[in-house]
Chains A and B, each alone.
Chain A
Amino acid sequence: MTNTRSLPFKQTLWIGLVACLSACAPSTPEQRLLIDVNEKLITPLYTDLAVSSRDLASATATVCGDNRSLDTLQTPWRDVMTAWQKAQTIQFGPIREHNLAWEFQFWPDKKNLIAKKLRPLLSQAEQQTQQTLSQASVVTHGLPAMEYLLFDDSAKQRADDKARCALLTLMANNLATTSQQLQQQWQAYQPLLLSASPDNTEFPTEKHAVAVVIDSFLSQTEQMSGRKLTMALGLNTKSQRVNPYFLESWRSQHSKENLLANLAAIKSLMTEAGLSRYLAEQGQQALADNIQSALSDTQAQLTAMTQPLFEQMNQQNTETTAAVQQGLEALTRHFKVDIPNALGIQLGFNNNDGD
């Protein structure tokens, strides 16, 4: 499905924006923030995602071509997952317009659809093509699908390296193509974010554009505090039964690293992209400091864990994980309540309170 925004409008924006970027300094704090969010946060995140995905595709081709151990692909897979977990914080623009999030990662997977969808595909792996994969369930496209093939013992037992290689190659190529397209789509989209005006079909004012950025990071912190640990800790059920298989990336035991990557992207928003500076400019230095502290504390708690989260939960050792959960909830409150109140912005109306 193509987007219907007219090309001439985009071209006009581009010409005006390029002219302005080369000639004029940001005229408002909001404009400066948005320019930095684009240049120092989102564009680098999408570039890293495209580069790491390309590297994984190229490594897959080499490893499979040379009949080397597929375990050597685990490290480049972790690199892409880390890049994706950082880029996941951007939940507006082409990632949403083209509905690409599941192309990278289908999760949560309460019904173990990853294994269920991949088993039949594995039995006919060598008949698959780039086209049949793209037409197959989105569950089979992304990083968790590759994770199953690279890390899960049952997949290793079920199929030989040749079959796994056939699918891994298609999946890695698909990821590389998707992430490159996302990078290009963002370049086409970003003039809209940087040219807020009453005639802009998405951002009538710069404050609305700032609100969209904040809302995107709120969605991320909500997913972190509402899903990434709560399900595994059993906090969403009456029984409160701990189940480490509800952790994200449990097969690769990369759950802690995913959270650290999320937090790193939020830190980049605060520092490189300048949200802390912007809050200070708005007389909200204390709030900026509080958010930075919450981030640092949670990062320190996670970094101090010597075991993977999966192992800790398997041993019913949930104390430190529960402390991290509280840190994530505090971070969510900052984005949900404190920042909107401090800046006088509204994060959606009908989309979170419809009927």
Chain B
Amino acid sequence: MTKPANKTNSTVDRRRFLKLGGGALVAPVLASWLSGCKTDTLASGPLLLSGYRSHAAATAGRSVGSASISHGAGKYSPKEGSRLNDKGGKEYFGIAGIDTTGELAFDIPVNQRVHDNVFLPHSQQAVFFARRPGTHLYVVDLIEGRIAHTVTASAQRHFYGHGCVSHDGRYLFASENAFDKQTGCIGVYDVFDNFRRIDELPSGGIGPHQIQWLSDQKTLVVANGGILTHPSRGRKKLNVSSMRPSLAYVESRSGHLIDEFLPPHHQQSIRHLDVSDTDTVMIGIQFEGDPTQQLPLAYSHSGEPELLPFRADRRDWQRHKQYIGSVCTDPSGSELLLSSPRGGIVSHWNVRRQTLQAIHTQRDGAGLAFVPERSEFYASNGLGQITAIKRDPSGRLKRTPHYFHHRSWDNHISVAQSRSNPTV
């Protein structure tokens, strides 16, 4: 295996990157960026980023709603990216940025349905990952509100919808299916070289989904769902009876599997995770086994010999319908939110005690994010709502929804900062 380029060369590469991307794309390195569920704390207001499906006709390159920033068309192709529904209306996939008051900042149609995204603070860009078996990465210039690059997966690879970026902003890591080898891998891309794919690491299992960094800036933690799929079979699960999910710790340069932890049942597919500032990893499960068997759907891990289950009554677990769609903790790792779109709920957990605090209805809810500077969680759903969730002094949750017409927010949201006057 080839190793990622030595990071001491980053100054040269940075100059090259500036030349390619323009001076506006420089930003200071931030010590605490990308903690928890991909949050950042820059000077001006945060931006929520998400993919969506729309029922309204797409008009590429048009500002939408009260958008304050116009955007380019990217490489939108009506032929590939949209389809006529049975009423003759057009459905299409898109990606958008919304400020915390609910105003659209940019809105771009894309060809493939995306899943999660990650903010690149150094370049004020975000990368949106196509969900399986998609083959595109959309790199969005958040200042211009347009697609800067579309990266296509290598041969015999497709994306799984998640990724993360190294702390110096140089390397992008994407969970991928090496379907010729029937195994999972992590594609490594050089952000400073037009997102050139420079390496591939083993993910430590089949079906890698969400991946994150530990604070040592060397270790990747990978949720290997354990489920084998092949693009020739669409999204069909091919090994449910023999699957082997794992939480894997992978050395980011060598791809060495440092350690792995298996859930108690081999059909507890580990799909989503989040990491606190103190490296407590929290994972969400999608159970593929007997639906009447109720096992915990969330675990934490922080150096123990095994995964530690979050505890709740059977009845409260049942409300999650064996399916966790997103996992999000605040950076301090004191509170955890789990979304279950199938249960139509978001549950709130005390991490220290590993116990359930509250459940609230969030119909078709999926995406979760935490905005530190507002001390607020945000939850998105398929109904077009993005809801701010804040705990008042008495501990009661106050929910403030923002509604967007004709829009189903996809599985994940993340938080970024868009600045109209970047410092060069």
Report A's interface with B, CB cutoff 8 A: 1-6, 92, 96-97, 99, 102, 111, 113, 138, 198-202, 204-205, 208, 212, 337, 341, 344, 346, 348-352, 354-355
Contact = CB atoms under 8 A, between A and B. Distances in A.
Q: Chain B interface: which size bin? A: 35 or more
B323 A354 contact: yes
B86 interface: yes
Contact of B411 (A208, A337, A354): A354
Looking at B209, B292, B363, which has the most chain A CB atoms within 10 Å of its CB?
B363
Interface string B246-264: 0000000000000000000
The 5 residue pairs across chains A and B that have the minimum distance between CB atoms: A349-B382, A350-B341, A198-B403, A349-B408, A350-B366
B112 interface: no
Contact of B363 (A99, A212, A344): A212
Interface stretch (B26-34, B149-157, B314-322): B314-322
B25 to A, nearest CB: 31
B161 A208 contact: no
Contact of B344 (A198, A204, A205, A351): A351
Contacts of B115: 355
A201 B382 contact: no
Nearest to A345: B55
Interface string B305-342: 00000000111101100010100000000000000011
B384 interface: yes
B403 A201 contact: no
Nearest to B395: A4
A341 B410 CA distance: 21
Nearest to A341: B86
Given A198-B403, A201-B360, 5 more contacts: A1-B316, A1-B358, A113-B292, A349-B364, A354-B323
Given A3-B359, A99-B315, A344-B87, A204 B401 contact: yes
A92 B53 CA distance: 24
Contacts of B323: 354
B385 to A, nearest CB: 6
Interface string B357-395: 011111111100000000000000111110100000000
B359 A1 contact: yes
A351 B382 contact: yes
Contacts of A2: 358
B397 interface: yes
Contact of A4 (B132, B359, B385, B410): B359
A138 B325 contact: no
B59 to A, nearest CB: 19
Contacts of A96: 319, 343-344
Contact of A346 (B86, B358, B365, B408): B408
Contacts of A349: 53, 341, 364, 382, 408, 410
B238 to A, nearest CB: 16
Contacts of B161: 355
Nearest to B318: A99
Nearest to A198: B403
Looking at B161, B316, B341, B402, which has the most chain A CB atoms within 10 Å of its CB?
B341
Contacts of B292: 111, 113
Contacts of B7: none
A102 B399 CA distance: 30
Contact of A350 (B86, B271, B381): B381
12 contacts: A1-B358, A2-B358, A4-B359, A4-B396, A99-B315, A201-B361, A344-B89, A350-B365, A351-B382, A352-B342, A354-B323, A355-B132
A201 B342 contact: no
A3 B356 CA distance: 12
B131 interface: yes
Contact of A201 (B55, B318, B325, B399): B399
Given A350-B341, A354-B341, A208 B360 contact: no
Contacts of B218: none
A8 to B, nearest CB: 10
A350 B397 contact: no
B401 A4 contact: no
A350 B361 contact: no
Given A198-B403, A201-B387, A350 B411 contact: yes
A6 B361 contact: no
Contacts of A351: 341-342, 344, 364, 382
B410 A350 contact: yes
Contacts of B364: 348-351
Contact of A97 (B209, B361, B381, B396): B361
B315 A5 contact: no
A355 B365 contact: no
A287 to B, nearest CB: 12
B361 A5 contact: yes
A60 B313 CA distance: 30
Nearest to B162: A355
B398 A6 contact: yes
B421 interface: no
Contacts of A208: 383
Interface string B70-108: 000000000000000111010000000000000000000
B372 to A, nearest CB: 22
Contacts of A6: 396-398
B212 to A, nearest CB: 17
A337 B408 CA distance: 18
B131 A355 contact: yes
A293 B76 CA distance: 45
Nearest to B382: A349
Contact of B361 (A111, A202, A205): A202
Given A1-B358, A348-B364, A204 B316 contact: no
A204 B315 contact: no
A346 B55 contact: yes
Contacts of A5: 360-361
Looking at B55, B315, B318, which has the most chain A CB atoms within 10 Å of its CB?
B315
Contacts of B55: 344, 346
Interface in B100-149: 115, 131-132
A5 B384 CA distance: 20
A201 B401 contact: yes
A337 B348 CA distance: 35
A74 B356 CA distance: 41
B230 to A, nearest CB: 16
Given A349-B53, A350-B366, A354-B366, A204 B397 contact: no
Contacts of B89: 344
Contacts of B360: 3-5, 201
A98 to B, nearest CB: 8
